[in-house]
Structure 1
C-alpha cells in the first residue's frame, strides 16, 4: 500500500497528459446518459444544470433512463421538457419496466445511443458539473490514444457552516461526524492513485458521476449487468481495447459526502464489492507483461482490494488473542510492548474518528482501518451470495443538495 502510494505520487508529478485544443466544430458526436431511480428531489435541478453546459447542440444527444421509479421522477422530467423545449435538440426518455440496477440501465441506454455518436457519456443525478465540463470531456477524445475519461470528485457536506451553491467548492469542509474526515482522506488518496495511474498508463477505476468512453470500445458484452462499478468496468474495457483510461484532474464534479455513518458505510461497501468483483474477473491481467505498466497496476489493486483485508483481519484476530494472553499472565518483552503500542494507535485512532474525536497522527490509521472494514464486509456479503448491484438510494445525499441551493 505504502509503496504504491509513493509510486503514484511520483507518476502524477511526471505526467505528460495534455488536453488537446479542439475547435467546437471538431468536437465528437456525444450521447449523454442520465440514469435515475426515485430522483424527484434532484432531477429538475440536474436537467437545468445540464442544459447550461456549453456543447454544440447538434452534436449532443441526451438519454434519460429511469429504473422503474416509484415516485414522480418521470413525470417531472416530462414536465421539465415541455417547459424547456429548446434545452436539448435531441432528448430520449427510456422507462425500464423493472429495476435491474444502474449497470443494466447504462447498458440499455448506451445500446440505444444514435449510431452517429462517437462518445458515450454518463452522469449521476446527484453530481454537479463545472461549467464547460462536457466541452473538456469531448476534447480529450480528439487524442486517438484515449479510450475513456473520468472526472475528479470534490466532495463536501452541508452541516459544517457552508451555505449556497458555491459552498461545495471547499473540499476541506468535513462533517461533525467522524466519517466525514476519514472519507475525505480516503477519497484524496483514491484520487492521487487514479491520477498517478493515468499518468503512467491507465487507471482501472473511474468515477461514474461523470465519465465518457469511446463508442468503438463499447459493445453489448462490455458490461456485466449483474455487478456494479459500471464505471470501472468501462475503464478496464477501454484499456483492454488498447486505449488509455485516464482521470482528468481539472474535470470536476461535486457531490455531498453522505451525512450519516450508515449511509456512508452502505455506499462504501457497495462500491468496494463492485471493484472486487471486477478485479477478480480480470485476475488474468494481474502483473501481466502483455499489459505493460497497467498489468502491474491491476495486480497491486487486486492485492489491496482482495488480499490485504484478510491479512488485516488476521492481524486483528492475533491482536485480540495477544490481549487475552496478557490477561492470563503473558510475560512482556520489547516485541510485545511494541505491538501493543501499534495496536493501541490503530484501534484507538479508528474509535476516536468514529466518535468525531480528532487527534494528531490518527487520521491515516483510522482511514486505513475504515477502508479495510468496508472491503471485508463487501467480501463477506459476496461470499454469502448478497450482490449489491441493486443500490439503495442515499436520501441524505439528496437532501444535502437541497440544503446547498
Structure 2
C-alpha cells in the first residue's frame, strides 16, 4: 500500500511538472525552430457561430479591421442552425467582405466547420470562435509560420481577460498550458491546438470530421502528412473568463469527452517506431493527464489507511484534506473567490472531476457532437 501511494503521487507530479521538466532537458540538446517570414498565402478565416446575436457584431467589427491583403482573404461565418438574429447581422457585413454560410440543420461546431472547409478558397484556413478577439495583425502573424514548409498547423496563444482585469483560476491554468505548448513546439510538435484561434494548410483539413474535435484532429492530420504543429507567441487570441465558473465544469467535460474520442480513434500515434518523440508527447500530454483523477484517488485512499498509527502519513493526510477543503470552500462559497490560494485548488479539482465524469460518459458510450458557446 505505501508503494501505491508513492507511485500515485509521483504520477500526479510527473503529469503536471515532471513532463515539462523532461521537455526542458530535451530542449537543451535538441531544439526545433520555425522559419517564419513575411508570407501572404491565400487565406480563409472561418468563424463558427450558434445564436450569437449578442456578440457577433463585435466579432465582425474586429474581423473587418484585421490587416491582411483583401484580395487574398476570404471570411466565412458558418452559422450552425442559428434561430436568432445572427444570420441577419452577418448579412449586414456582406459588402465588407464577410460571407454567410447558413447551415440549416444544427449539427455541431465541427459539422459547421466541415461545411465551411468545403467552400473555402484559401490555401491556409484559419478557425476562430465568436468570443475570441484578435490583434489587427493577428492573421499576418499566424500566416508567417507557413513560410516554413515543415509546419502543417499553428496554434495561437490564449489570453484570458477577467472582467476585473485580473487572471482567474482558468487564467493560471491557461498560462501553464501555453508554457507547455511552447516547450513542445521547441522539442518537436504540439499535441493540440487552441480551438478558439488556429490555422492549418488546406490539405491538412481535407478529411474534416463532423463528430471529432477539430483542433486535436487537425494536429494529428498534420503529423500523418509528415508536418508538425507549432505555437506562435505572437498570434494571440483574447477571450473573457467564463461568466459563471460553475458552468466551466460542463465545458471541461465536453472538451475531454471529445478529446477521448479522438485519442482512442488514433492510437497509432502511441507507436514510437513510427512517430518517435511525438509518441511520448502524445502519451504524456493527453493520456497521462487524463489519468490524473484516478491517480488522485489511488493516493488518497491508501493515505487514509496508512495514517492510522503513523504521524508522517497523518500529516500527509492533513495536507491532502486541506487542499480539497480549500477547493470545496471555493466551490460552495456564495460570493466570488478572488484569492489565488483558493482559485488554483478549485480549478484543479474542477478539471479533474470533469475528467472523471468524461471517462464515465465515454465508457458508457456517450459522445458529444452538439456545442453551445460558453457565456463569457
TM over 0.5: yes
Change in Cα spacing, 1:378 to 1:144, as seen in structure 2 (3 Å) is same
- Paired residues of 1:8 and 1:197 also in contact (CA < 8 A): yes
User: Tell me, what secondary structure is at the counterpart of 1:373?
Assistant: helix
Residue 92 (structure 1) shift: 3.0
1:339-378 aligned within 5 A? 339-354=316-331, 355=333, 356=337, 358=339, 365-378=345-358
Q: Find the partner of 1:92 among 74, 96, 99.
A: 99
Change in Cα spacing, 1:120 to 1:283, as seen in structure 2 (3 Å) is same
> 2 CA distance for matches of 1:246 and 1:381?
31
1:46-65 Cα shifts (integer Å, max 9, x gaps) = 11111111111111111111
- Paired residues of 2:50 and 2:372 also in contact (CA < 8 A): no
> 2 CA distance for matches of 1:215 and 1:388?
25
Residue 149 (structure 1) shift: 0.4
- Paired residues of 1:257 and 1:264 also in contact (CA < 8 A): no
- Structure 1 position 3 matched with structure 2 position 18: yes
Residue 287 (structure 1) shift: 5.0
Residue 338 (structure 1) shift: 3.5
Specify the alignment match of 1:403 in structure 2. Answer: none
Of stretches 277-286 and 8-17 in structure 1, the one that deviates more from structure 2 is: 8-17
- Paired residues of 1:283 and 1:302 also in contact (CA < 8 A): no
Specify the alignment match of 1:126 in structure 2. Answer: 131
Superposition TM-score, scaled by structure 2 size: 0.87
Q: Which runs of 5+ in 1 are unaligned?
A: 163-172, 175-179, 398-405
- Structure 1 position 199 matched with structure 2 position 215: no
Residue 317 (structure 1) shift: 4.7
- Structure 1 position 384 matched with structure 2 position 364: yes
1:12-23 aligned within 5 A? 16-18=32-34, 20-22=36-38
Specify the alignment match of 2:8 in structure 1. Answer: none
- Paired residues of 1:120 and 1:215 also in contact (CA < 8 A): yes
1:89-134 Cα shifts (integer Å, max 9, x gaps) = xx432211211110111111111112xx211111111100012011
Residue 351 (structure 1) shift: 2.3
Specify the alignment match of 2:78 in structure 1. Answer: 65
- Paired residues of 1:148 and 1:214 also in contact (CA < 8 A): yes
- Paired residues of 2:261 and 2:367 also in contact (CA < 8 A): no
Residue 72 (structure 1) shift: 0.5
Specify the alignment match of 1:241 in structure 2. Answer: 225
User: Tell me, what secondary structure is at the counterpart of 1:225?
Assistant: coil
User: Tell me, what secondary structure is at the counterpart of 1:193?
Assistant: helix
Residue 246 (structure 1) shift: 0.8
Change in Cα spacing, 1:28 to 1:80, as seen in structure 2 (3 Å) is closer
- Paired residues of 1:203 and 1:246 also in contact (CA < 8 A): yes
1:1-400 aligned within 5 A? 1=15, 2-9=17-24, 16-18=32-34, 20-22=36-38, 26-81=39-94, 85=95, 87-88=96-97, 91-114=98-121, 117-158=122-163, 160=164, 162=165, 173-174=166-167, 180-181=168-169, 183-220=170-207, 223-227=208-212, 229-286=213-270, 288-318=272-302, 322=304, 331-354=308-331, 355=333, 356=337, 358=339, 365-394=345-374, 396-397=375-376
RMSD: 2.4
- Paired residues of 1:305 and 1:375 also in contact (CA < 8 A): no
User: Tell me, what secondary structure is at the counterpart of 1:141?
Assistant: helix
Superposition TM-score, scaled by structure 1 size: 0.81
> 2 CA distance for matches of 1:33 and 1:306?
30
Of stretches 144-153 and 188-197 in structure 1, the one that deviates more from structure 2 is: 188-197
> 2 CA distance for matches of 1:46 and 1:368?
31
1:259-303 Cα shifts (integer Å, max 9, x gaps) = 212222222221122222222222222252321211110111243
Q: Which runs of 5+ in 2 are unaligned?
A: 1-14
Change in Cα spacing, 1:331 to 1:110, as seen in structure 2 (3 Å) is closer
> 1 CA distance for matches of 2:346 and 2:216?
26
